[in-house]
Amino acid sequence: MTSIKKQLPLEEITDFDAVVIGAGFSGLYMLHRLREDGFTVRVYEKGDGVGGAWYWSRYPGARCDSESIYYNYTFSEELYKEWTWTSRYPEQPEILRYLNFVAEKLDLRRDIQFNTEITGAHYIEEYNKWRIFFKDGSSVTAKYFITGMGCISVNATNIPNFKGIENFEGKWYHTGSWPHEGVDLQGKRVGVIGNGSSGVQTIPVVAEEAEQLYVFQRTPQYTTPARNHPYDPQYIKQAKENYHKMKKMVRESMAGVPLQFGEGSALEDTPEERRNVYETAWQKGGVISYVYRDLLSSEEANETVNDFIRSKIRETVKNPKVAQKLMPTYYYGTKRAVIDTNYYETFNRDNVTLVDVKNAPIEEIAAKGVRTADGEEYELDILIFATGYDGMTGPLFKLDLRGKDGVLLKDKWDDGAQVRTHHGLATAGFPNMFMITGPQSPSVAGNMPIAIEQHVEWISDCLNYLREHDIKTIEANVDAEENWSQHCKAVSDETLYSKSESWYTGSNIEGKPSSFNIYLGGYGPYNQMITDMASKGYEGFTLR
């Protein structure tokens, strides 16, 4: 802390009411709300454009798994009606165009500083200010510090520490920071490591372009058909007319989309009835974990949907040995449920080879390609890491983020083993700091823009309240965050999520403690809770 004080005086530093990290869905709306309310705000963005994860994730096939007409802001009828989505699932360039449209329409760019990376933020108690540091060593101060990096961030891509990567003579890329000029895969021998949402999307597209594709699979993946298609203009017209109904529905829903969750148990139906239910959902496209109420809470029920998807793999993949290698065994839906266009079909192509790196792990990235433990070497020109992110806490921990007494957030949360938040919005010891879709909020348990809107609106209402009541500091109480963390855990312990390994639990990152930090009680009920908390004078916070 002494070093921070030495760099004062603060009065020589630019000061804002609020500083926000990141110009994605979160940062853009936060800026708009606070600016409308008369606060001085600055958003700092590492990239040279808006879009957040959608600015960086330009890999072939990148597309969202939420339906377009719900994957947008709902706060403005005008914005909703002016923008027209072209297909059921929006592809990355279209989402980027949408966010640029919003930035333009709301004149946001004048308060965003691009090409500027925040490296840390320190709370300075004697001034009751946050000092925010940039990569070039400069800094600004703000009364409020708001994180808008989301649960996955380009700052926290996961590139496994394979031996020898520096010797690889080909080119390698991570899906989450893809070159803007694109990558020519024509005639190339390409390897893809990973088959989460990114891998499953990119593999079929890469297979069509590359001469040869090797898919390095550690854990086989359940995926269901997206059944993407261009939107019928009549459908879009109707969606726009239904704006108010849609807004209410998604905001009160469990997952930010108007999905009707099944009321019955999978175990109450006969095998034939179940198969019909699953088949109908499979033909409709999208995730199918919602069709019965207990698919994500009962191992036995979950196994019925797993069996169904495995039967689809068997039917689709012609080579029975390859089909066998593709058979997943984990609990469907407990990692982010993946949807695809031709994923399993791709393994019928002559130019695609599935490599099982669970049984024979990658030992080394050699000069010419990937070497596995069984002595095989796969010669490659291009290696694609679809290996995901150090998610949830990762983007926060990459920052030198210090609260009272110079305590590092990473230390307070014991590297992620002891995450403590008040409803995922704030944490004790870090006054006047807010996290948009922070750990222990519903965040990735649904359609993110809706979760983001809930938090942005709550935070801006809160700052207005503080200003109106001449309150200088808001800080989460230790007992409130303890209660919330326990509640969050109790809810997830009722489900199969906490029994699975995924980036949700942190188990994808070597050495990271496993801990599940998503609130699974549903977007609508959660919003009601944080609204009630605010109406009780910000219950569980100390206001000074």
160 is a site residue for ligand N01 (CB under 6 A): yes
Q: Which two tokens mark 448?
A: 């993110």
Q: Which two tokens mark 256?
A: 């930010």
Q: How far is the CB of 399 from ligand N01 (least distance, A)?
A: 20
Binding mask 390-429 vs ligand N01 (x if CB under 6 A, - otherwise)? Answer: ----------------------------------------
Using the minimum distance from each CB to ligand N01, give the nearer residue, 219 or 324: 219
- Return the SS3 of 135: coil
Binding mask 260-279 vs ligand N01 (x if CB under 6 A, - otherwise)? Answer: --------------------
Burial 413-442 (b: 16+ CB within 10 A, else e): beebeebbbbbbbbbbbbbbbbbbbbbbbb
Calpha distance 447→470 (Å, rounded): 35
- Figure out which of the listed residues 116, 289, 302, 508 binds ligand N01, where binding follows CB under 6 A: 508
- Figure out which of the listed residues 197, 223, 346, 515 binds ligand N01, where binding follows CB under 6 A: 197
Closest CA to 436 of 188, 132, 149: 149
Report DSSP state, residue 133. Answer: E
Cα angle 426, 159, 122 (rounded to 5 degrees) comes to 30
Stretch that binds ligand N01, among 22-30, 131-139, 243-251, 386-394 (CB under 6 A): 386-394
Q: Does residue 21 contact residue 150 with C-beta atoms inside 8 Å?
A: no
387 is a site residue for ligand N01 (CB under 6 A): yes
Cβ-closest position to ligand N01: 196
Query: CA–CA distance from 487 to each of 58, 280, 422, 481, 526 (Å)?
Result: 37, 35, 11, 10, 12
Give the number of residues in contact with ligand N01, rule: CB under 6 A.
26
Q: How far is the CB of 219 from ligand N01 (least distance, A)?
A: 3
Stretch that binds ligand N01, among 2-10, 188-196, 247-255, 524-532 (CB under 6 A): 188-196
Q: Which amino acid type is present at position 328?
A: P
199 is a site residue for ligand N01 (CB under 6 A): yes
Using the minimum distance from each CB to ligand N01, give the nearer residue, 103 or 362: 362
DSSP 1-15: -HHHHHT--GGGS-E
- Figure out which of the listed residues 227, 251, 336, 489 binds ligand N01, where binding follows CB under 6 A: 336
382 is a site residue for ligand N01 (CB under 6 A): no
Using the minimum distance from each CB to ligand N01, give the nearer residue, 45 or 390: 390
Q: How far is the CB of 277 from ligand N01 (least distance, A)?
A: 24
* Residue found by looking up tokens 């993110």 in the block: 448
Using the minimum distance from each CB to ligand N01, give the nearer residue, 175 or 440: 175
505 is a site residue for ligand N01 (CB under 6 A): no
- Figure out which of the listed residues 39, 51, 65, 356 binds ligand N01, where binding follows CB under 6 A: 65
Cα angle 92, 97, 99 (rounded to 5 degrees) comes to 95
340 is a site residue for ligand N01 (CB under 6 A): no
Stretch that binds ligand N01, among 63-71, 374-382, 414-422, 533-541 (CB under 6 A): 63-71
Alpha carbons within 13 A on the beta-carbon side of 285: 13
444 is a site residue for ligand N01 (CB under 6 A): yes
- Figure out which of the listed residues 69, 112, 193, 451 binds ligand N01, where binding follows CB under 6 A: 193
Report DSSP state, residue 459. Answer: H
- Figure out which of the listed residues 24, 388, 522, 524 binds ligand N01, where binding follows CB under 6 A: 388
Binding mask 69-108 vs ligand N01 (x if CB under 6 A, - otherwise)? Answer: ----------------------------------------
Return the axis-axis angle of helices 448-468 and 25-36, rounded to nearest 10°: 30
164 is a site residue for ligand N01 (CB under 6 A): no
- Return the SS3 of 259: coil
Query: CA–CA distance from 112 to each of 45, 94, 262, 389, 435 (Å)?
Result: 7, 21, 44, 25, 18
Q: Which two tokens mark 156?
A: 């926290």
219 is a site residue for ligand N01 (CB under 6 A): yes
Q: How far is the CB of 17 from ligand N01 (least distance, A)?
A: 32
Calpha distance 464→444 (Å, rounded): 27
Q: Which long-range contacts (CB under 8 A, 24 or more apart) does 126-131 make?
A: 127/10, 128/431, 128/432, 128/472, 128/473, 129/10, 129/15, 130/19, 130/432, 130/433, 131/4, 131/10, 131/13
156 is a site residue for ligand N01 (CB under 6 A): no
Q: How far is the CB of 336 from ligand N01 (least distance, A)?
A: 3
Using the minimum distance from each CB to ligand N01, give the nearer residue, 164 or 262: 164
25 is a site residue for ligand N01 (CB under 6 A): no
* Residue found by looking up tokens 């709902």 in the block: 74
500 is a site residue for ligand N01 (CB under 6 A): no
Residue 37 phi/psi, 5-degree rounding, is: -85, 5
Q: How far is the CB of 469 from ligand N01 (least distance, A)?
A: 38
Using the minimum distance from each CB to ligand N01, give the nearer residue, 218 or 455: 218
Residue 244 phi/psi, 5-degree rounding, is: -65, -40
Stretch that binds ligand N01, among 73-81, 198-206, 227-235, 519-527 (CB under 6 A): 198-206
Stretch that binds ligand N01, among 62-70, 93-101, 281-289, 404-412 (CB under 6 A): 62-70
Residue 289 phi/psi, 5-degree rounding, is: -75, -10
- Return the SS3 of 278: helix
Calpha distance 149→25 (Å, rounded): 9
- Figure out which of the listed residues 354, 386, 436, 476 binds ligand N01, where binding follows CB under 6 A: 386
Peptide bond into 9 cis (omega under 30): yes
Which residues form the interface with ligand N01 (CB under 6 A)? 63-65, 152, 160, 175, 193-199, 201, 218-219, 336, 357, 362, 386-389, 444, 503, 508
